[in-house]
Structure 1
Amino acid sequence: MADAAALPSEALTPPGGGPGAGPGPGRAEGAEGLFVVLGAGLAAASHPLLYVKLLVQVGHEPLPPTIGRNVLGKKVLYLPGFFTYARHIVKVDGKRGLFRGLTPRLISSTLSTVTRGNVKKAFPLEDMEHVSNKDDMKTSLRKVVKETSHEMMMQCVSRVVSHPLHAYVSVLLVISMRCMVQFIGREVKYSGVFSAIVRIFKEEGILGFFVGVVPHIVGDVIFLWCCNLLAHFINTYAVDDNFSQASVIRSYTKFVMGIAMSMLTYPFLLVGDLMAVNNCGLRAGLPPYAPVFTSWIHCWRYLSAQGQLFRGSSLVFRRAPMQAACFPID
């Protein structure tokens, strides 16, 4: 499945509310601070998973495939899963190696959360009440459109502000990703947050901090609109008000739709991540891992032609590509 942490948080927030859900400004601020801390902790805990995912996304396969069987009992070739890949990283770099690029990612995650919270305060939106009567469909749909537009604005602003802090691996999202993919070529070009910022600015200018941001934003926008509209139509037409558990089902509809849409919009995440490291002077952004892309559309077309638009979406049962299975496995 796609990286949920990189997608809009509103649609992936389970029922119960997010930061500031409780009454009173003091409690809201405390909840927001707690949310930031919990978000940072989750980012740290999930970093090895995202690290392995990024290496798989750029096409780094340091271990040979192994023979396994599918559900029909047929022998197939499987590429190493997350745990096997992680053990390889530990063998090469030690346990600390699993957290390469974590610092810029934590800063980026925190900045994104704080930015989203500040945008919410600057542009408040009244609570949306569910309209279950089909006669009120136009009114209900108008509210959904207004709410989604508000979420889209917050997501785009927070993405643009925090994105430069991530191409250090993925300057922090860009910085974090470049820091991680240095594992492939054993480079040390990006060794610190501030030095990486200076280097990117000198080599690529201000636009270097926003490389790959366009497909991320496009994916975010498609995700938000599809998730919110689908949840709205399901809650309005598919869930009967006479059903005893209707309110419970409605509370989880958006959450479930968020998971489904995260998988469908995964190619935008993949393309954005690849553009963040492409042609940046690191081995992971140059042939043979990838050609030098002229735009994210070029990258998308290349991956589509290779049948690789969902590369890295799963880290468990990873079937080897056809070219790797050209020899007998019986």
Structure 2
Amino acid sequence: MPQSYCEYIKNINPTIKHGLISVVGRVAMHPKMYVGTLIQLGYKPFPLEAKKMLFSNKIVQVYPSSFKYFGHIFKEDGIIGLYNGLLPSIIEVLVDLFVRHELEKNKIKNESDVKDVSEILYPAFWNNLPGRAKKIIKECFTVTVSTIISYPFNCIMVRMMASFVGKETSYNSIFSAASQIYKVGGFSEFYKGFFPKLTYTLLLAISGHMLFDLFELNKTLKFIACEKINSEWCSKIAMKPLTILAYPLLTVSNVMIINNTKFSTNFGIINNPNFYH
């Protein structure tokens, strides 16, 4: 008897399911990411617009809405142009997911003495802080390794996006882009802007773990009067302000990727030797 659709979905390997969801998310959000990257790099095809602040009459100069950028890119390159750099973006997320999965799988095999999370979090949370710290350190190691392996695809993606301004044909495909990057600066060229991106990723990983633990601890100590609180979703929601605060690190990373290249001239970027400049 054939399986129902719901049963089929339930039987899919969680890693494959997570990968499919990640790919769909990347495809859906890519035009927004594309526009955001161009804005980060300083692309200004339109003059700033004067707008009133929400809670005051103060007039401020702001960038036009993303939809205006979408329309501009669509007019220049068509609907396909909105997905420039999509392939390396998808490969990046899949490589990152695969590496994390493999490291987590090996970690579970090697930790036969690990206690159940409820044993660690509830009765003796404070007594098990060293254990929690150890888990965060291992997560940082996983994040670092996965970022090291997947980052070159992020570099290729940003360079392909940046080619929109100067219409460089050498960045039309992932293979020609990779070849051009290697030709310009060798293997190290793929890791320009790596440290601010890694710092951003580590900050979110550590913050996510700490917030999850706090929401789990709340179930016992009841700081917030809600017994059915979902720690995972609450920690993700609480991460949003932290993501915004850490956002400048992504901007620095993307600017460094085109630093000291012909793209710098296209975007009017002053060449800087390192990320803290």
Q: What is the TM-score normalised by the length of structure 2?
A: 0.84
Deviations 1:65-84 (A, max 9, x none): 23332222344333211111
* Counterpart check, 1:111 vs 2:95: yes
Q: Residue 3 of structure 1 aligns with which residue?
A: none
Q: Residue 293 of structure 1 aligns with which residue?
A: 272
**CA RMSD, aligned part only?**
2.5
Query: 1:53-64 residue pairs with structure 2 within 5 A?
Result: 53-64=36-47
Q: Residue 209 of structure 1 aligns with which residue?
A: 190
SS in 2 for 1:296: coil
Query: 1:111-190 residue pairs with structure 2 within 5 A?
Result: 111-124=95-108, 126=114, 127-129=116-118, 131-133=121-123, 136-139=125-128, 141-165=129-153, 173-190=154-171
Q: Do the aligned partners of residues 288 and 162 (structure 1) sit closer, same or farther apart at CA in structure 2, a change above 3 Å counting?
A: closer
Q: Residue 12 of structure 1 aligns with which residue?
A: none
SS in 1 for 2:171: coil
SS in 1 for 2:262: coil
Specify which structure has the bigger relative contact order, considering alpha-carbon pairs within 8 angstroms and separated by 6 or more residues: 1
Which residues of structure 2 form unaligned runs of 5+? 1-9
The Cα of 1:261 is off from its aligned counterpart by 1.8
Instruction: Determine which of 246, 250, 263 is the counterpart of 2:227.
Output: 246
CA distance, structure 1, for counterparts of residue 267 and residue 27 of structure 2: 31
CA distance, structure 2, for counterparts of residue 288 and residue 180 of structure 1: 12
The Cα of 1:88 is off from its aligned counterpart by 1.2
The Cα of 1:163 is off from its aligned counterpart by 0.6
Q: Residue 5 of structure 2 aligns with which residue?
A: none
Which residues of structure 1 form unaligned runs of 5+? 1-25, 166-172, 299-330
Instruction: Determine which of 269, 274, 291 is the counterpart of 2:250.
Output: 269
CA distance, structure 2, for counterparts of residue 88 and residue 239 of structure 1: 53
Query: 1:24-63 residue pairs with structure 2 within 5 A?
Result: 27=11, 30-63=13-46
Deviations 1:96-136 (A, max 9, x none): 11111111111111111111111111222645226245x64
Q: Do the aligned partners of residues 87 and 138 (structure 1) sit closer, same or farther apart at CA in structure 2, a change above 3 Å counting?
A: same
The Cα of 1:93 is off from its aligned counterpart by 1.4
Q: What is the TM-score normalised by the length of structure 1?
A: 0.71
Letter of the 1:160 counterpart: I
Which 4+ stretches in 1 moved above 6 angstroms?
none
Contact 1:90 1:98 in 2 (8 A): yes
**How many residues are treated as equivalent by the alignment?**
261
Letter of the 2:71 counterpart: R
Q: Do the aligned partners of residues 237 and 189 (structure 1) sit closer, same or farther apart at CA in structure 2, a change above 3 Å counting?
A: same
The Cα of 1:247 is off from its aligned counterpart by 4.3
CA distance, structure 2, for counterparts of residue 187 and residue 256 of structure 1: 40
- Report the structure, 1 or 2, having the larger helix content: 2
Instruction: Determine which of 46, 61, 81 is the counterpart of 1:77.
Output: 61
The Cα of 1:246 is off from its aligned counterpart by 3.2
CA distance, structure 1, for counterparts of residue 21 and residue 151 of structure 2: 20
